[in-house]
Structure 1
Amino acid sequence: MDKSMKMRAQLKGNFTEVKVLMSHPMETGRRRNDADELVPAHFVQLLTATLNGKPVLEAQWGTGIAKNPYLTFRLKGAKLGDVVEVTWHDNLGETATHSIAVTQA
């Protein structure tokens, strides 16, 4: 399990609700620190989600997303036990992946 993400995927009637909390600084590159120096840009650029290995979501992000992003999305066609995997890639080449099985709400 990747500690940079917490996830939940719950079957709710005819859809699955996926919630993702990511630990990431999401720096714009425009903020100054206490020494009045620019803090380098560090942000998630690409986020993808799959259901049992098949792509279901691709998001291209930039500096307009807040620190520790929270994302909720819904899927159709998932069943109990199916695996949802979320991966992000940032502008510094870092990446994180987390997967979880769909549970009943």
Structure 2
Amino acid sequence: MAENSIKIRAKLKDDVVTVKALMTHPMETGNRKDSKGETIPAHFIQDVTCSAAGKEVINAQWSGGISKNPYISFKFKGAGEGDDLTLTWVDNQGSSDSATVKIS
């Protein structure tokens, strides 16, 4: 997958970190056909993990039912300003990407 496929922000407010991330990915289900009538192979993110301050804060398993260029937002407690937050995805074809930001 192309580099920089993840745009991510992590903001701390009142001891709660809000994470917002946009991932660039085609997310094909394997059910669509191209203009020649050929089935487009399944190609989707199947695992999304996020860790902060050395601890996993979310682990999501997805399937082909998620839209193209998925957006995810979630909140958690237990991290502080300046901590690193890393979001990683792996797709069903073995591609992956990761992005790290400082919590602000």
Relative to the length of structure 1, the TM-score reads 0.93
Aligned-pair distance for 1:14?
A: 2.4
**Secondary structure at 1:7's aligned position in 2?**
strand
Please give the alpha-carbon distance, in whole angstroms, between the structure 2 residues aligned to 1:43 and 1:29: 9
Please give the alpha-carbon distance, in whole angstroms, between the structure 1 residues aligned to 2:101 and 2:76: 14
Residue 66 of structure 1 pairs with residue 67 of structure 2: yes
Relative to the length of structure 2, the TM-score reads 0.94
Q: How many residues align?
A: 102
**Secondary structure at 2:32's aligned position in 1?**
coil
Which 5+ residue runs of structure 1 have no aligned equivalent? none
Correspondence list, 1:5-84, <5 A: 5-84=6-85
Please give the alpha-carbon distance, in whole angstroms, between the structure 2 residues aligned to 1:56 and 1:16: 11
Please give the alpha-carbon distance, in whole angstroms, between the structure 2 residues aligned to 1:99 and 1:14: 20
* 1:4-56: CA deviation from partner (whole Å, max 9, x where unpaired): 00000001222010001000000000001111111110001111110122111
Please give the alpha-carbon distance, in whole angstroms, between the structure 1 residues aligned to 2:60 and 2:11: 21
RMSD: 0.9
**Secondary structure at 1:34's aligned position in 2?**
coil
Which 5+ residue runs of structure 2 have no aligned equivalent? none
**Secondary structure at 1:62's aligned position in 2?**
coil
Amino acid at match of 2:91: D
Aligned-pair distance for 1:65?
A: 0.4
